[in-house]
């Protein structure tokens, strides 16, 4: 019994020391704006009328300096919360970009 208790105690010490050395994980903001990212619409007119694709979305995200990309196909309900770090890309039924908004 004593050997079992010593073994359990040494296991606990190993686990506790591993946890003490672990670096805290920095969560991605969900309800707050991402520091250093503020969406701007300058230069986004050139994307309107183009097909919506992953590559196009990444290009728009880069041009707008947004941290969060949101697609809005027809009939999609969107939250009304405002995020300065988010760009929303509206699509028509043929998946063409009709509008781009920040927030």
pLDDT tens sequence across 40-92: 999 999 999 999 999 999 999 999 999 999 999 999 999 888 889 999 999 99
Residue 75 belongs to a domain with what CATH number?
3.30.10.10
Phi, psi of 87 (to 5 degrees): -115, 135
Own/partner pairs, 57-62, CB within 8 angstroms, 24+ separation: 57/89, 60/87, 60/89, 60/100, 61/87
User: Does any domain span residue 50?
Assistant: yes
Domain hosting 92: range is 37-103
Q: How many domains does the chain have?
A: 1
Q: What's the chain's Rg over C-alpha atoms?
A: 23
- pTM across the whole model: 0.67
User: Does any domain span residue 3?
Assistant: no
pLDDT band of residue 101 (cuts 50, 70, 90) is very high
Q: Which of 49, 62, 41 is nearest to 91 (CA)?
A: 49
């Amino acid at each position: 019994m004593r050997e079992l208790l010593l073994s359990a105690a040494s296991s606990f010490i190993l686990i506790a020391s591993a946890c003490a050395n672990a670096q805290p994980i920095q969560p991605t903001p969900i309800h707050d704006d991402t520091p250093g990212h503020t969406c701007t619409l300058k230069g986004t007119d050139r994307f309107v009328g183009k097909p919506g694709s992953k590559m196009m979305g990444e290009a728009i995200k880069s041009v707008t300096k947004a941290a969060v990309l949101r697609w809005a196909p027809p009939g999609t309900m969107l939250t009304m919360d405002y995020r300065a770090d988010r760009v929303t890309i509206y699509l028509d039924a043929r998946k063409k970009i009709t509008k781009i908004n920040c927030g």
